[in-house]
Structure 1
């Protein structure tokens, strides 16, 4: 026999809660996918910071939310104490991990810029080399989308050999419609090169700052959902167990 009275109301409350949680997970996943397409895989440029890509973080969060919410929905609808307890434990574990990640990120936040600079400089030296097609594409998309060139500025490309010389930049650095295949050849010798002068490190920092607020807001919202979900799931779990004992 299913739960009755307040227990029945609580059952549907937990179900609706998890249904909304499930839908929000799909929304987060979709946002991450769109962002990944826009960013063009910037994570390839930052191997020291695998979760620095907002897109990767949102996709991972969305997948976890969808799976956990599904367990909660089924557990509430079927009045399955095992699934409800699993749902509760998953939420508690994720909440603890999120809290730990937030604390670690806050403590080491000052080191992020150094990791970004180091990774970008290493990636710059591997541009257009054998077996580095993904990194090359990521650099081109980064420079084209962010309207930037090099790490600190466009002269960083003078440390690499492009077009057979050390005075050139990739076509993705060229401004406006002047991004033909050879537009960056020898431009570092020109007084007024028609290329973006802003470094990509600053562009990425601006991006991270912008997405940090979005991720923080999403994280706070998810945290509140998790706390409410744990409370409702545990109350319903106890109601089902109590009813089973007295049945």
Structure 2
């Protein structure tokens, strides 16, 4: 059975919206990968709850990617079963996103403590694992920071306190003894936590804008998909 008249327009809109969902899914995956790579140095310490945030964004993007592809096929073939399944899956995704947004707002104050815990765990393992050490060095070099709260945090660790040193990645200019007897003129004094939080606040607007855009199109997609379902079920004729 096919769809005619106004239902052809609905079918076309459903197809277009699914293509937009597909693009949004790709965008979320890209944002998740970017966030994961940018924050990997801070999260590599093993703070699973913090590391799961960019991973969750990627997972949602992948799910939207496949669901939208499923919806495109359903609209193109005018399959009532596929279109119905798509509408149900899209509704579930929308509700999950709403729940995630609420949870994120409720637990936003825990982000700071989780980040600080991750940084301290990383610092304690510094020098014991080569990839981990390299990750910490890259973090401090990229964010121009030293320690978690400030450079004196390294003095709480025995291996640095006995020699009055900090990692060389804390140095403003990397020279032979720049990390020995550190001063505010030779090393970065601000902690990495502040820099990472500033980065997150700056980029959270991008994530929020993308999320709002996706939610808007999801609502429209659900409405038009329901209209298409009704048209297919009514048995109107196509082209």
Superposition deviation, residue 36 in structure 1: 4.0
Superposition deviation, residue 62 in structure 1: 2.5
Aligned residue number for residue 120 of structure 1: 119
Cα deviation per residue 1:115-152 (whole Å; 9 max; x = unaligned)? 222221122111121xx444323322211111111000
1:1-247 maps to which residues of 2 (within 5 A)? 1-45=1-45, 46-53=47-54, 56-129=55-128, 132-162=129-159, 165-175=162-172, 178-179=173-174, 182-183=176-177, 185-188=179-182, 191-243=183-235
Confirm or deny: 8 A CA contact 1:18 1:72 kept in the other structure.
yes
Tell me how large the CA RMSD over aligned residues is.
2.4
Aligned residues: 235
What SS does the corresponding residue of 2:49 show, helix, strand or coil? coil
The list of structure 1 runs, each at least 4 consecutive aligned residues, that deviate by more than 6 angstroms after superposition, is: none
What SS does the corresponding residue of 1:149 show, helix, strand or coil? coil
In structure 1, how many angstroms separate the alpha carbons of the residues matched to 2:232 and 2:88?
17
Superposition deviation, residue 213 in structure 1: 1.4
TM-score, normalised via structure 2 length: 0.87
Cα deviation per residue 1:82-126 (whole Å; 9 max; x = unaligned)? 221221122111111111111112112222212222221122111
Confirm or deny: 8 A CA contact 1:29 1:63 kept in the other structure.
yes
Superposition deviation, residue 29 in structure 1: 2.5
Change (3 A) 1:81 1:165: farther
Confirm or deny: 8 A CA contact 1:169 1:184 kept in the other structure.
no
Confirm or deny: 8 A CA contact 1:159 1:166 kept in the other structure.
no
Cα deviation per residue 1:143-167 (whole Å; 9 max; x = unaligned)? 1111111000011111224479452
TM-score, normalised via structure 1 length: 0.84
Confirm or deny: 8 A CA contact 1:92 1:230 kept in the other structure.
yes
Cα deviation per residue 1:5-26 (whole Å; 9 max; x = unaligned)? 1112211111111112212322
Higher RCO (CA < 8 A, seq sep 6+): 2
In structure 2, how many angstroms separate the alpha carbons of the residues matched to 1:160 and 1:217?
42
